[in-house]
DNA sequence: ATTGTTTTTGCAACCCGTTGCAAAACATCG
DNA sequence: CGATGTTTTGCAACGGGTTGCAAAAACAAT
């Protein structure tokens, strides 16, 4: 349940953003570790406003029905309170692990291993792409001469992403290796 | 959407299991990478039976209204078909990353960093515990003399879990390190 | 015998994420 | 001007995951 807090964060970072602007920025920054569709974002902005955590004004001289939002003091307070709440660790939850287990249980004869290998290779390229993307971010971000606190935190988040993706690449490469040995 | 397939897998591995038995086994094996509550499991067993992928018989001489399920040929086929389907990579999705970003955006004065540090330390112990648990599994599992295909796959899954948890431990330790340096 | 406890199953409601679609306001171009 | 497209907002419906609660059936206790 972090979408509201992610939105508050994005709105403090750049006040007077509209729903669509937030959706676009989600895709490029926060979205790397917390995804949200524009429908979700509109719904949540409505709730945050109803709860008195943000406020908005309609912008004239704009297309559609553009509304610009900003965070109220109560919203900032809510965000600060939330920082201290403990949350349960995200458990590993991945369909590929289920597939591997299914393959093991079905056994080499009854399972369709070539198809599984194709599925794994597909996932592998996805993670390699993401990894390459993060690495290109890293070239920009890590070369900071005298990073302040905010920059150091961004670097930290990026490294978490790098570790995550390279971990998957490693796991999947190992899986392919082992599945292709077809004895017993 | 892997719960039905996880259940098929568990039922092929050990046929004539009841809903509760499956729920208990989920907690101990498949649950490490695909969690499900007993309510979910009962609901899904009902659907699988309605779809003709599994069948069940009521067991007399048992408490409650125990039913034992087994997989039908159509169920095994559905599982095999599913193995080849490509699935999208699980994107990183974690509240702590959101919190770190929120802290960075609020800045060292406005944010409540000590509370955040406490939250991170809490998470850190969770991941350390999980890691220790996996390591104890590894002692049993990796010491296999001549592992067959099924065992090799189990080892693979376990290593993925180990990588996942130790990755988080590393990330969180680094986060604490950086957050405790309070310049600028 | 009745009262409670345990096992097993399951319903109902809610929240979040997803998908499909549409309305409002403006822009553009023939 | 009218038709068509674009931007921005948003609704409706569905499905999975979560929580709370309860019914059915056997067993235990006093």
A60 Cβ nearer than 7 Å to chain C strand: yes
Nearest CA in chain B to A183: B149
Tens digits of residue pLDDT in A58-106: 987 788 899 999 999 999 999 999 999 999 998 999 999 999 999 999 9
> d(Cα A155, Cα A166) in Å, to the nearest integer?
16
Tens digits of residue pLDDT in A24-51: 999 999 999 999 999 999 999 999 999 9
Determine which of B3, B73, B91, B110 to mutate to test the interface with A (most A C-beta atoms within 10 Å).
B91
Q: Which two tokens stand for residue B51?
A: 């779809």
All residues of chain B having their beta carbon less than 8 Å from the beta carbon of residue A127 are 89
**pLDDT, mean over chain B:** 94
CB B30 within 8 A of CB A94: no
> d(Cα B100, Cα B179) in Å, to the nearest integer?
9
Residue nearest to nucleotide C26 (CA to C1'): A63
Nearest to B32 among A9, A83, A92 (CB): A92
The gap between the terminal CA atoms of chain B, to the nearest Å, is 46
> d(Cα A39, Cα A30) in Å, to the nearest integer?
16
> d(Cα B79, Cα B5) in Å, to the nearest integer?
6
CB B181 within 8 A of CB A156: no
> d(Cα A29, Cα A7) in Å, to the nearest integer?
12
Per DSSP, A31 falls in state: G
- Indicate whether B104 pLDDT > 60: yes
CA distance, residue B15 to nearest chain A CA (Å): 12
Q: Which two tokens stand for residue A145?
A: 């001469």
- Indicate whether B142 pLDDT > 70: yes
CB A138 within 8 A of CB A162: yes
pLDDT band at A184 (very low <50, low <70, confident <90, very high): very low
Q: Which two tokens stand for residue B109?
A: 């004065």
* pTM of the predicted protein model: 0.93
A37 Cβ nearer than 7 Å to chain D strand: no
> d(Cα A87, Cα B167) in Å, to the nearest integer?
18
């Amino acid at each position: 349940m972090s979408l509201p807090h992610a939105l508050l964060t994005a709105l403090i970072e750049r006040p007077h953003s509209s729903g669509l602007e937030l959706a676009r920025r989600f895709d490029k920054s926060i979205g790397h570790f917390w995804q949200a569709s524009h429908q979700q974002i509109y719904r949540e902005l409505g709730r945050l406003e109803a709860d008195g955590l943000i406020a908005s004004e309609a912008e004239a001289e704009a297309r559609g029905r553009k509304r610009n939002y900003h965070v109220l003091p109560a919203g900032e307070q809510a965000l600060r309170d939330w920082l201290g709440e403990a949350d349960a660790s995200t458990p590993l939850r991945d369909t590929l692990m289920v597939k591997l287990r299914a393959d093991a249980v079905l056994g080499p004869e009854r399972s369709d291993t070539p198809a599984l290998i194709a599925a794994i290779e597909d996932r592998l390229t996805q993670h390699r792409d993401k990894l390459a993307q993060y690495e290109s971010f890293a070239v920009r971000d890590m070369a900071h001469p005298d990073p302040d606190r905010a920059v150091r935190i961004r670097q930290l988040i990026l490294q978490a992403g790098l570790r995550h993706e390279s971990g998957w690449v490693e796991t999947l490469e190992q899986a392919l290796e082992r599945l292709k040995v077809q004895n017993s």
